[in-house]
Amino acid sequence: MLEQGTITIHTQNIFPIIKKALYSDHEVFFRELISNAVDAIQKLKMVAFAGELAGELGEPEIVISLDKENRTLSIADNGIGMTADEVKKYINQVAFSSAEEFVEKYQKQGSDQPLIGHFGLGFYSAFMVADQVEITTLSYREGAEAVRWQCDGSPNFTLDTTTRAGRGTTVTLTLQESETEFLEPGRIRELVKTYCDFLPVAIKLEGETLNRQQAIWRQSPADLKDEDYLTFYRYLYPFQDDPLLWVHLQTDYPFLLNGVLYFPKLRPDVDVSRSQLKLFCNQVFVSDHCEEILPRFLLPMRGVIDSPDIPLNVSRSALQLDRTVRQIGNFVAKKVADRLKEMYHSQREQYIDVWQDLGTFVKFGCLNDDKFKQQVEDILIFRTTAKVEAATAEQPAVEVPGESGDAWQTATPEGPSGRPAYTTLKEYLARNQARHENRVFYCTDEVAQATYVDLHTRQGLEVLFMDSFIDTHFISFLEREFEQVKFSRVDSDLDPALLSQDQGSELIDPKTNKSKAETVKELFEAALGRPRVTIRTESLKGEGEQAPPAMVLLPESLRRLREMTALMQQGKMEFPEEHTLVVNLGHPLVQHLLTLNQTPVLQVPGATPANTLAQDLCCYIYDLALLAQKGFDVEGMKGFVERSNRVLTQLAGRVAGG
């Protein structure tokens, strides 16, 4: 026996701390021991690179052996090995690291082999699961003698000479009765996939290599194809839609960091407050909780960040927040912005294709990060009703001539290529300066507000679609950025360009001396019986039935206040009792309504008096306008169905009776 003694410890009760407090998850012992084995192999490569290795380097590998009968788990490497003196130095002196010593010695000779961890404190995590730990090791040094170190989890150890066939180290754990799950091959495969899948050394069990080994984030982007990135994403996140795009991160100053980040296609079940990014330290998986690293608006991003400079606590289970973490967050945000700008200018069609999902990230980033906002503010795009050619880096967006040769035309929201047309806000304002300077018409619900959008586009007013869930907040943000610009939803008010000056003031009843407008207003007021609803009569431009018979308008400020209140109270947004009903005097239905109201009662058995039918039609027209605003509650919808049935029955009866 070479020696018998007591382990040098830096804390009196180091083993209870390791077992009960330092590592909260027992399975991480496997990560630590595999990391040490890879370190031993990387150190041997350093030595070989420096020309100090006699003999062949050989094929590096880590071999795991399981013995259920004896309850032992062994992890063997063919790395650098240790002498008896090195075992005393690196094992007996707890928390003494050899990694810094090796880096200092060999970095001057040009080797860039990474050292994952420290063959020291991490090694002692083995005592969380083992009753006894044994190390047999043989150094690469010429003439070295193999030694065996044993410890039962107390400060007492034995160190003796032994025999070993080849260079390297084997760590054998005699597992506790409660930890025999780690003797199951399936459990070992799971641990390798979780923690060690991308380590650059083959990890073998029963002759099978368990880990993928290739970490694409450590490769040059020039050596990777799109399919490589997609294959890697599908491996990390199976059964998910392919990502929208990705960003490859590589820097060595002021910190060392590699990674690949993906923009996922957003789904309703995605928790945008929780990170799905995987954090690695020199290709060893550390955590998938990276909320402290990424800016809030990038938390839904997926992929890998690998950096030895991200400060972790001694068990590698939690981040230690410091200036480096903030720098990394800023670096990632900048690289994301750079990638988006590159795509906007060089892959415009693809950028537009993914904008519906991508735009949520970008807008949220603008709301939360002023630096990011400044980087991407010129590439914020909005779907538009105008036909505009896509801009390029050299050529700004231009208007597409209409068939008649006009310089500009409205259209359905489809660009010349058959895809939706998009524009930036600055382009929109410049294009419409003569028509409605510093005013932006927008739509938040293409289906519900289709009538309003159509009314605007027919009169040459361009409408932007701002229908993302974040746009309610983003519009206010844009108004702060563009102080002179006013945003008006298409159903908030009527621009003068939509109104026609016709016979609204024309007298229709010499006896009462009332105009058409006054008569219609009184008719609707009497029929609705809603004193808090303001009846306004206008003639909307458009032939025949192009414009609706009536529209419910909510002032922009009132509607925003209502939306904000509902959001803060986390309740259902009630439709306000105070609103405006605009009745279109030029619509044929309203014209017929006036005639019907003045028609004497028909002498048809069972027929409904004309003025009663006129009142029902007034209510029905109001119902249709409310329906476009989603302004019905349960009782309102019930009343609408009843009135619809009644009006249709009355009209059918009149036709049949006539």
The confidence score (pLDDT) of residue 197 equals 96
Model confidence band, residue 478 (pLDDT cutoffs 50, 70, 90): very high
Do 146 and 138 form a contact (C-beta atoms < 8 A)? yes
Q: Which residue has the higher pLDDT, 456 or 16?
A: 456
What are the angstrom distances between the C-alpha of 485 and each of 427, 439, 577? 13, 6, 29
In 108-198, where does DSSP find H-type helix?
185-195
Q: Answer with the residue of higher pLDDT: 10 or 234.
A: 234
Q: Where in the chain is the domain with CATH 3.30.565.10?
A: 3-209
pLDDT digits (tens, 9 = 90+) for 505-521: 666 666 667 788 888 89
Domain 381-497 annotated CATH 1.10.20.60: no
Cβ atoms within 10 Å, residue 545: 11
For the stretch 494-505, pLDDT in tens is: 888 888 876 556
Give CA torsion, residues 508, 513, 516, 518, to 10 deg.
-160
Q: Across residues 539-545, what is the average pLDDT?
A: 77
Q: What's this model's pTM, rounded to 2 decimal places? A: 0.77
Task: Please state the rounded mean pLDDT for residues 301-324.
Answer: 73
Query: How far does Cα 45 stand from its chain's mean position?
Result: 41
In this predicted structure, what is the pLDDT of residue 129?
92
Average pLDDT, the chain: 81
CATH superfamily of 502-657: Heat shock protein 90, C-terminal domain (1.20.120.790)
More confident position, 86 or 356 = 86
> What is the per-residue pLDDT for 644?
77
Which residue has better confidence, 545 or 172? 172
| Greatest mean pLDDT range, 103-107, 126-130, 172-176, 559-563 | 172-176
pLDDT of residue 26: 85
Greater confidence, 184 or 295?
184
The tokens of 460 are what?
A: 């040459």
- Start and end residues for every CATH 3.40.50.11260 domain found in the chain: 381-497
Give the least confident one: 260-264, 295-299, 536-540, 605-609. 605-609
pLDDT over 60 at 20, yes or no: no
Q: What is the pLDDT of residue 592?
A: 84
Question: DSSP readout, 82-111?
Answer: --HHHHIIIIIBTT--SHHHHHHHHGGGT-
Domain ranges in the chain with CATH number 1.20.120.790: 502-657
pLDDT category at 53 given cuts 50, 70, 90 is confident
Look up the CATH number of domain 3-209.
3.30.565.10
Where along the chain do the CATH 3.30.230.80 domains lie?
216-360
DSSP state of 4: E
pLDDT at site 388: 60
Res 360: pLDDT: 86
What is the pLDDT at residue 21?
45
Question: Which one has a higher pLDDT value, 341 or 558?
Answer: 341
Residue 353 has pLDDT above 50, yes or no: yes
Q: Which residue has the higher pLDDT, 511 or 192?
A: 192
Mean of the pLDDT values across residues 616-645? Answer: 78
What is 216-360's CATH number, 3.40.50.970, 3.30.450.20, 3.30.230.80, 3.90.1300.10? 3.30.230.80
DSSP labels for 430-443?
HHTHHHHTTEEEEE
**What confidence tens digit (pLDDT) does each residue in 316-340 have?**
555 656 688 888 989 999 999 999 9
Averaged pLDDT, 284-302: 86
For range 171-188, the mean pLDDT: 96
Tokens of 156: 């007492």
Question: Which residue(s) pair with 528 in the sheet?
Answer: none
Query: pLDDT tens across 73-132, in order?
Result: 999 999 999 999 999 888 876 534 444 454 455 455 555 554 444 434 578 788 889 999
Q: Is the pLDDT of residue 71 over 80?
A: yes
- Residue 464, C-beta contacts closer than 8 angstroms, at least 6 positions apart: 382, 383, 384, 385, 423, 425, 428, 440, 441, 442, 443
Question: So what's the pLDDT on residue 61?
Answer: 97
**Model confidence at 191, in pLDDT bands (50, 70, 90)?**
very high
Q: Which has more confidence, 509 or 133?
A: 133
pLDDT per residue as tens digits for the range 244-261: 999 999 999 899 999 999
Please state, in angstroms and rounded to a whole number, the distance separating the CA atoms of residues 269 and 283: 29
pLDDT of residue 605: 46
Phi/psi for 68 (5° steps) reads: -65, -35
